[in-house]
Amino acid sequence: MKIDQSMIDVGPVDFLRSDHTGSFEGLPVANIGDAMDRMGMCDSGLHAMWSGAACVGTAFPVTVRSGDNAGLHVALEHVRPGDVLVVNGGGDLSRALLGDLLATKLRTLGVVGAVIDGCIRDRSTLEQMRFPVWARGANPSGPYKNGPARLAREAAVGGVVVRPGDIIAADDDGVAVIPADSAADVYRLTLEVMAHEAELSREFSRPIGR
């Protein structure tokens, strides 16, 4: 497949990957959102494409023209293991930007998930692959591959600005974008939120009058 590279703006791809990324593995996205004062949470239109999907990784942002995934194909040349492909597709529902073939290649490259502000296809195959994807829905119509696109630059996804190197945490509840420069504080506050909720749960579980 030949992509017109002149239509693709590639930013610095050697951005730092946070040392704190792995700390968020297994932490509920809802609690992470509480720790960030409900900021950095993608809107509820972006939802897991299969039940139980979850991932934590480094944001590799891509912005594409509605219904065109040329930028995703070029991103294959630049992503690193542990990245999450985060795509501003303009919320367009007319065509799928990602399917099983792209997902297979992304997985081979070590990408741990994808957040698509638009549609995907091959949902059942993605579930069988256990490749975590969040999107606005599914559409069998394939994309154009003409560009333009921007890679490794800020992208607005689900109402949140995502910067290269930010941490993405996603589960059945949705997607959180954790700024890389505040990851340590967010992690600490998330643990505090979880401890407080555990205490409340014990309190609420006590029989009345005891």
Domain ranges of the chain: 5-12+19-205
Q: Give me the half-sphere count of Cα atoms (radius 13 Å) on the Cβ side of residue 106.
A: 27
Walk along the chain (210 residues) and give the pLDDT tens digit of each residue: 688 888 999 999 999 899 999 999 999 999 999 999 999 999 999 999 999 999 999 999 999 999 999 999 999 999 999 999 999 999 999 999 999 999 999 999 999 999 999 999 999 999 999 999 999 999 999 999 999 999 999 999 999 999 999 999 999 999 999 999 999 999 999 999 999 988 887 888 888 765
pLDDT at 128: 98
β-pair type (149-151, 55-64): antiparallel
Alpha-carbon distance of 204 to 70, in angstroms, equals 52
**What is the DSSP secondary-structure string of 55-108?**
EEEEEEEEEE-TTB-HHHHHHTTT--TTEEEEEEEEEEEEEEEE-HHHHHHHHH
pTM over 0.85: yes
Domain 5-12+19-205 of CATH type 3.50.30.40: yes
User: Would you give the end-to-end CA distance of the chain in angstroms?
Assistant: 69
Q: Which amino acid is at 188?
A: R
Which residues lie closer than 8 Å to 202 by C-beta, 6 or more apart?
A: none
